[in-house]
Structure 1
Amino acid sequence: MADTKAPDSTRRSERSRRAIYDAALSLVGETGYAKTTIEGIAARAGVGKQTIYRWWPSKAAVLLEAFIDLGNQAAEAAGAGAEGYEIPDTGDLAADLKLVLRATVDELVDPKYEAPTRALTAAGIVDPELCAEFVEKLLEPQLQLYVQRLRTAQEAGDVRAGIDPHIALELLVGPLAHRWLLRTRPLTHEYADAVVDYALGGLAPR
Structure 2
Amino acid sequence: MAPTKAPDSSRRSDRSRRAIHDAALALVTEVGYRRTTIEGIAARAGVGKQTIYRWWPSKAAVLMDAFLDLAGRAAEDAGSGSGSGGTGESAPGIPDTGDLAADLKLVLRATVDELNDPALEAPTRALTAEGIVDAKLGAEFVHKLLDPQLALYVTRLRAAQEAGDVRADVDPRIALELLIGPLMHRWLLRTLPLTHAYADEIVDYAVGGLAPRA
TM-score, structure 2 as length reference? 0.89
Contact 2:29 2:126 (C-alpha < 8 Å) held by counterparts: no
Over the matched positions of the two proteins, sequence identity in percent amounts to 79
Equivalent residue pairs, number: 205
After TM superposition, the structure 1 = structure 2 runs for residues 129-168 of structure 1, keeping only pairs within 5 Å, are 129-168=136-175
User: Which runs of structure 2 are paired with 1:10-49 in the superposition (5 Å)?
Assistant: 10-49=10-49
CA drift at 1:127:
2.1
- Counterpart in 2 of 1:57? 57
Residue 78 of structure 1 and its aligned partner are, at CA, apart by 2.3
Counterpart for residue 212 of structure 2? 205
Matched residue SS, 2:79: coil
Alignment of 1:99-138 (within 5 A): 99-138=106-145
What's the CA shift for 1:187?
A: 0.9
What is the alpha-carbon distance in structure 2 between the residues aligned to residue 66 and residue 131 of structure 1?
A: 15
**2:186 paired with 1:183:** no
Deviates more, 1:146-155 or 1:45-54: 45-54
Partner Cα distance (1:113, 1:187) in 2 = 15
Moved more, 170-179 or 2-11: 2-11
Report matched runs for 1:63-74 at 5 Å. 63-74=63-74
- SS at 1:142 equivalent: helix
Residue 189 of structure 1 aligns with an amino acid whose one-letter code is H
Partners of 1:83 and 1:185 in 2: how far apart? 28
Letter in 1 for 2:46: G
SS in 2 for 1:78: helix
User: Is 1:77 equivalent to 2:77 in the alignment?
Assistant: yes
Check conservation: 1:75, 1:84, Cα contact below 8 A: no
Q: Which runs of 5+ in 2 are unaligned?
A: 81-88
Aligned-partner Cα distance in 2 for 1:19–1:52: 11
Unaligned 5+ runs, structure 1: none
Equivalent-residue separation in structure 1 for 2:127 and 2:92 (angstroms): 21
Report if the CA contact (8 A) 2:79-2:90 is conserved.
no
Q: Deviations over 1:111-165 (max 9, x none)?
A: 1111111111122122222222211110001001100110111111111011000
Residue identity in the other structure for 1:174: G
TM-superposed CA distance for 1:29, in Å, is: 2.2
Q: Which residue of 1 aligns with 2:85?
A: none
Q: Using a 3 Å threshold, how does the CA distance of structure 1 residues 124 and 88 change in structure 2: closer, same or farther? A: same
CA distance, structure 2, for counterparts of residue 14 and residue 83 of structure 1: 26
Counterparts of 2:16 and 2:37 in 1: how far apart (Å)? 17
Residue aligned with 2:155, SS: helix
**Aligned partners of 1:135, 1:158: CA distance in 2, in Å?**
29
Measure the CA separation in 2 of the matches of 1:124 and 1:198. 30
